Structure 1
Amino acid sequence: MVVNAFSTSPAEADNHQKLAEHLVHRLGGDQRLLVILGAGSLLDGADDHLVVDDIKKAPGADAWIAIPEGQKKELDYLRTVSGIDWVGISPSYTFKPGPATTTCLETTPGNPIPPPARWPRQWSYRSSTRPTTANASRLLTAN
């Protein structure tokens, strides 16, 4: 498994997609790619708008908005890829205090999937929910 947790300056934010393209090109079909994305690609609100649109409105965002935009482009590219097993993880847009949980994955509220004793090579998880800020902490795959 290859983990891509790349970070860069706003001036070089296009390197998010370039690195994803390079890794996809280099990896074989039996290898996995885990990509740490940003919260900008999550959906929020009743209209399911992109969180990156909210981020653009933040004071001073012009100085760094290229980073979440670059990560969104990286995700858009990965969604076009076939022939490689990849997983993207986005953090929550906000972090608020709340009760602790032992749930590993959840397909729907109240329906936990316990973690396997050993992650099988072919194991994959596909969320039945859309990537929103409400379920951002859940693991999402896209292939």
Structure 2
Amino acid sequence: MTNPNRYRIVPVDSQNFWAVMALQVAPEQIHFIEPNSVSLAEAAYDRRFDWHPYALMQADTVVGFAMVGAWDREEQYIWLDRLMIDRRYQHQGIGGIFVELLIPFIFEQWPVKTIVLSYEPENIPAEQFYFRHGFHDAHRVDENNGEKIAVVEKAQ
């Protein structure tokens, strides 16, 4: 059984930057997500959405990545974006562990009621994965890229 206490969410910094850059999804997933180099460049230089990049750690090993940002203070939502687990660590339940950790982490860090994410319509495994972990179909499409939008609301 996997011990969830071995898993942590930490900001990307000079200590883990290169490990995050080296992460790769499986070949069949490449067209569904931008490389981490693009995400880290956006977080560093495109300040419009105030992205916060995070390394997903298993013990002392970087196994994944996620960004949180595009916070809408008025509507009280924020985006979880670019969530990925390195291909070497997929199919071990680690992605689910991190989604289960990310949801309360985000609600603790930002005063929001909703977490939003999007995925390619043809990426059925991603849809099933997110729905298994509390997200549901928002019945909306991201007008910027045609991706389906899913949300999870903060428990009252």
Relative to the length of structure 1, the TM-score reads 0.28
The structure whose residues are more often helix, as a share, is: 2
Greater RCO structure (CA 8 Å; 6+ sep): 1
TM-score (norm. length: structure 2): 0.27
Larger CA Rg, structure 1 vs 2? 1
Q: Which has the higher strand share?
A: 2
